[in-house]
Structure 1
């Protein structure tokens, strides 16, 4: 928190944090938050975890769909992303993302102690969601993963390249590996243009140090998968060039969960919720129905009282 008399802390876009919804994480950094609250009493809480380089804003469509089902959806821009503080798309330890998610979830649970909690993650946000649920398996009623980062692309994760990345991280941690290819986000050109024109998305290159953190996260997920027993839904496009579909297949096949589903979209790219309209619509229906079917009691308070 700023010292008395000090200038107010401002978001990377120059807006005072006091004027924005936010939480302050354990490192004292401001995280910009979004909340989509239904008009009536919420039936469940859903945390949305966005991907690398992006922010929580592009999840408006998913959030509104779930809000219409009387679900309270909430999210924050991860450290170093969007309107949150922190060095852009760089972090000293991937665990910080998980810690921050749990802090936000705990805050919302304290306000709604009797509601089930779901977590939804896309891309890197999928990895964050998996590891968050692994740390607190009893806290989540279910996990939804859209094009999740579970294992790195086989071409970029050969033993030689992994070794070279670790050497480069030691010698040149700020070495730029190039930006995310926007053309692989979606087959819908309007969505690709929206991604390219979104000023809150980081369009700079990925540092070696960040890539090494991602490698560490996927290695940890691989170790955790055999012990996973919580319900999950995975949606993945089989033409996804940014997150390897083999990771989703591996998790589906090897997790202990009895309640698990993998749906593959033929020809679809990475951001299924921003894919061609027929795919995006199917994704919204899948996510909405999967979550609502797992609510412990769908009876409204009015029906209970009658």
Structure 2
């Protein structure tokens, strides 16, 4: 009975407060988008920091890399340096609300993140008209790539690389988790969460994790409404499994404690039913969520390079064989 009254009181509080989770979309399109040396200027005039890693000679392929939640473009420093030495030019940018981009900590909305990616792809293709362009998304970045590729106005790309994409949709969450998120987002959307007390391991690269903890541009306290927006994005990505066509390489670590196995495998079941011959899934037995920065990250880098260069039937690491074994059991 006490629980019932507490719930009624909470619902009344939500109703009276009138709080709603907000998104913070771009302004009017009054600029011509430009890709500068260190800046991606969007159509509404937002200046998004860009990092690039270029080969010493003309590149034979291009990667546009999208960072994960609360991270920023620096995530791709070491992979970018590696790929550039393989003749692949790499670009990564701070997405709105993250890193040094405008409106830090505020969620711009899935449509905005997709639109920014579409514009940047066009700019990169203009700069390298004769080179194949690949999209690489880590975690949240992977969810953005998946949903972007389902849009009719998405520019053509040679392929996409998904590193532990964020696919933990509401339909795969326990009811109490989705209920708590909804309640907080509609009552205290400004409340910040730090994740303290949540014992999960994002990577076995402890030195890298400590560096992230010291990095002032990595967000440590997250607004509830931003988490709510991320969950909307994961819903959209999860539900786009059957519409993701074309050359795709998906990487996942068996030790991933951030994105659970169940939603990932459920996504893969739908994902592999369409255009299966153009899709490669690699599951790394010792891989964590931060596959591109784990201690075994060079293994994933070599697989990505081989896939871009030749789309081989077998990846050098054999992680695709591991994936087939695990998925066949399911």
TM-score normalised by the chain length of structure 1: 0.81
1:172 alignment partner in structure 2: 188
1:175 deviates by 1.9
Structure 2 gaps of 5+ residues are 1-35, 313-330
Residues 290/182 of structure 1: CA separation in 2 closer, same or farther (3 Å cut): farther
1:109 deviates by 1.0
Number of residues of Structure 1 aligned to a counterpart in Structure 2: 272
1:245 deviates by 3.1
SS of the residue aligned with 1:272?
coil
Q: Distance in 2 between matches of 1:43 and 1:55?
A: 26
Which residue, out of 288, 294, 297, partners 1:269?
A: 288
Where do 4+ consecutive residues of structure 1 move more than 4 Å? 152-155, 180-183
Residues 220/150 of structure 1: CA separation in 2 closer, same or farther (3 Å cut): same
Higher mean C-alpha displacement, 174-183 vs 158-167: 174-183
Residues 82/171 of structure 1: CA separation in 2 closer, same or farther (3 Å cut): same
1:58 deviates by 2.4
2:27 alignment partner in structure 1: none
CA contact (8 A) 2:146 2:244 kept: no
1:74 deviates by 0.7
SS of the residue aligned with 2:64?
strand
Residues 261/20 of structure 1: CA separation in 2 closer, same or farther (3 Å cut): closer
Which residue, out of 286, 308, 313, partners 1:291?
A: 308
RMSD, aligned CA: 2.4
CA contact (8 A) 2:76 2:92 kept: no
Q: Distance in 2 between matches of 1:182 and 1:78?
A: 27
1:148 alignment partner in structure 2: 165
TM-score normalised by the chain length of structure 2: 0.75
Alignment of 1:215-254 (within 5 A): 215-254=231-270
Q: Distance in 2 between matches of 1:121 and 1:78?
A: 12
Structure 1 gaps of 5+ residues are 1-18, 296-306
Q: Distance in 2 between matches of 1:246 and 1:43?
A: 37
